Structures are given as C-alpha cells and as structure tokens.
Amino acid sequence: MKTIEDFNFENKKALIRVDFNVPLDADFNVTDTNRIEAAKPTILKVLEDGGSAVLMSHLGRPKGEKNPDLSLKHICAAVSDSIGVTVKFVEDCVGEVATTAVENLKSGEILMVENLRFHNEETSGDVAFAEELSKLGDIYVNDAFGTAHRAHASTTVVARFFPENKCFGYLLAKEIKAIGKVMQTGEKPVTAILGGAKVSSKITIIENILNKVDHLIIGGGMTYTFIKAQGGNVGDSICEDDKMDLALAILRQAKEKGVEVHIPVDVLAADDFSDSANTKVVDVDKIEDGWQGLDAGPRTLENFKEVILKSKTILWNGPVGVFEMESFAKGTIAVGNYIDEATQNGAFSLVGGGDSVAAVKQFGFQEKVSYVSTGGGAMLESLEGKTLPGIAAILGE
C-alpha cells in the first residue's frame, strides 16, 4: 500500500483529491472545518518536502452546471486559515486556465481548482476528463475517503494516468488501517454495536461481519423487528414486519457461527415521539399499544457494558436510541462512555456511519475513541466487504 510517506515532493506538484464538501452558511462561511482539518497533514507534508499542492474537490450537487453558490472559492479562506498558507484559486478544474495556473505554481504554494462537479464528466467517470485532470500534477494523492466508494473521474479514473506516481494521503491510509483492524486483524474479542432504525439498511453489514466478530450488539429501532419476530409485543415501536424472517435468519446464522447476539431486554418507552412524552421503563417484549421504545433501558445497558468492557476491538455503527431528543439520549451516551472506558483499557474502537458519528460529536467522544471515520457511505460499503473503487485504483486492482 503506497502512502504519501513513500514519496518526496521536492519540486513536484501533488494533485490531491480532498473531500472539502463542507457546509456553508448564508454568507458562504464554512460552518464545520473538520474535513479541512483532516486533510491538513497530507497538504503540509507536500509543502514541507518543498513541493506544491493542487487541491481538487466537489461541493454539493451542481449536476454539471456552474452554480456560483457552490464555487470552491468560498472555502479558500477557511483552507488558508487551517494550513497557514494563502490558497490560490482558479475558476475551472480543466482547460488552459487550469493548466496555466498550475504551471505558475511555485514550491510551497497551494492552488484550489474549481468544483469538479461543475462538469458532468466527473460523476460519469469520463476518461478524457480524467486525463485532463492528470495534467495538473506530477503525483496523484487520494485523501478523500468520503468519496472513495464512487468511481468518479477524480477519485478513480485519474489514477490510471499515474501508473507509478500515485498514493494514499494520511487520512485515507488511516481509514483503511482502521477498518482493517476491525475486519481483519482485530484482537479478540471483537464486538460490533449496530444501531439505527432499520434492519434492511444494515443487513449486508451484519451478514459480512458475522464472520469477523465474537459479539453483536443490536440497538435502536432495529431491536423491535428482532423482538416481534420472536413473538414479543412491541406496541407502536418502529418495526419492519417484512424483515422479521430476515431477523430470525440472522439469529440462526449467528448461532451457527458462534457469535453471541445481545438484544435489549428492557427499553425506555414513550406514549409519543416527543421529548416531552410520558415515559416508563418496560420489558422490551411487553410494550403496550400506544407506547413505543425510544431508548435502551437500564438492564440492557448493564448487559451492554459487560460485553463492551471485555472487548479488545469495537465497531460502533448507529445509536441505541433517539439521541437527538434529550429524553432518549441516555443510552447512546452510556454506550459512548463504555467504549471510552474500554479504549482507555487498551481496546481499539472505530466509530463510523452518519448517525453514530453525529452522536459522538454531539456528546464529545471524538477524542475518547480510537478512530472516527470521515466517510459515511464509504465506511458502510467497506463494512459490507466491498472493495471501494477509489482504493482499488491506488492499489492497482
């Protein structure tokens, strides 16, 4: 696996695919700089070697049209502030204006090219467009895990024009290693905590990780499909009736593979989907009509705690309750605390997937786990066992 550490960028121009698809406010100020900060070590390595950096990214979904609201010029100031170097900007990513800007770039300088998705050829993976992009650098560096599952021109196709001079940036290399630790090299016992609303959205992940884990903790809305499938009463709780056979099949597969499955035994139920609803703790299989389970109960959390604290490798994908409401956030916070404690005791913990990452950030667990993935869809496809096109392109697969 070639990483940025394998190259010296002295007098070289690095063409870096970053993921700067960041949120902007009404005045075009960047409101969350996490993705910019995540790419900083890769950019600094190039500059410190004595090279220059050409940054390319998408922003939003302009669908092939030049939308001034989605211009990357809006984020140049935030990138300049982060890196400590004034970022130059060019108003296209291909053509003479772009190549001229690159030719004039000196060592130690950074150039941001315009939004890749102003061209339909980016998302269609057009080879000629990728070849045009390839003229903007001597070495191609992919540091955009968030788009590694897309076979776009800038994430995948462009790599073929750098047969020897292509590598992963620090961020993408870390993502690959973190997922590998869970899926291949993780110290046992390995525990996966899967939450979220639907079994259907996690089925491929569950089927793939049953071969890798020792413990599977089921939480969140998925719980009630498993409980109802086993004959329990779930009241008005979210439930995929058409996935109950699937839930039972998962339990059978887990038993055959020797995986211990841990499903909530009690829940915090509410008489309304509201922060101000009446609540009570009930057995998970005895929820009355008119009530719905919205968070893990105290006995459940004790069970989860015991499993998590004896784990050496932990994957957390999905909250165990409706954490967006304060009344139903306690379970997710508790799970975060258990993972924090296990991590302090030497476990490796990986958090990935939109809602669990949002929860980790909301409750301040970023620094308390081993790694927080930056890519939602890419992370999920990795866990499903898929080879991501953006990664395969660098590995030469």
Q: pLDDT digit string (tens) for 252-299?
A: 999 999 999 999 999 999 999 999 999 999 999 999 999 999 999 999
* 20 annotated ligand binder: yes
pLDDT at 373: 87
Catalytic residue check, 13:
no
- Residue of higher predicted confidence among 387 and 44: 44
- Residue of higher predicted confidence among 237 and 361: 237
Tell me the pTM: 0.86
* 299 annotated ligand binder: no
**Please, which pLDDT band fits residue 203 given cuts at 50, 70 and 90?**
confident
Q: Which of 2, 160, 305, 377 is catalytic?
A: 377
Residue 354: pLDDT over 80: no
Helices marked H in the chain — which ranges? Answer: 34-49, 76-83, 96-103, 120-124, 127-134, 170-183, 203-209, 222-229, 244-257, 298-309, 330-344, 354-362, 376-383, 389-395
* 252 annotated ligand binder: no
186-383 adopts what CATH topology?
Answer: Rossmann fold (3.40.50)
CA within 13 Å, CB half, 146: 18
Residue 353: pLDDT over 80: no
Residue 30: pLDDT over 70: yes
Question: For residue 167, what is the enclosing H or E element?
Answer: strand 166-168
Catalytic residue check, 2:
no
pLDDT at 286: 98
**Please, which pLDDT band fits residue 386 given cuts at 50, 70 and 90?**
confident
pLDDT at 133: 98
Give DSSP secondary structure letters for 189-223. Answer: SEEEEE-SS-STTTHHHHHHHTTT-SEEEE-TTHH
Residue 16: pLDDT over 90: yes
Identity (one letter) of the amino acid at 190?
V
Q: pLDDT digit string (tens) for 35-54?
A: 999 999 999 999 999 999 99
* 142 annotated ligand binder: no
Catalytic residue check, 354:
yes
Residue closest to 126 by CA, chosen among 161, 154, 86: 154
Catalytic residue check, 377:
yes
In DSSP terms, 316 is beta-bridged to 193, 351
Q: Which of 40, 160, 177, 198 is catalytic?
A: 198
- Residue of higher predicted confidence among 354 and 25: 25
What does the alpha-carbon distance between residue 115 and residue 112 come to, in Å, rounded to a whole number?
A: 9
Pairing label, strands 286-287, 266-270: unpaired
> What percentage of the chain reaches a pLDDT higher than 70?
99
Which structure tokens are listed for 288? 């009355």
Per domain, the residue ranges of the chain are 4-171, 186-383
Which overall architecture, per CATH, does domain 4-171 show? 3-Layer(aba) Sandwich (3.40)
Q: Which residues contact residue 310 at a Cβ distance below 8 angstroms, ignoring those fewer than 6 apart?
A: 189
Q: Which residues contact residue 235 at a Cβ distance below 8 angstroms, ignoring those fewer than 6 apart?
A: 269, 287, 288, 289, 290, 291, 292, 293
Q: Are 198 and 221 in contact (CB under 8 A)?
A: yes
* 186-383 has the same fold as 4-171: yes
Upstream peptide bond of 189 is cis (omega within 30 degrees of 0): yes
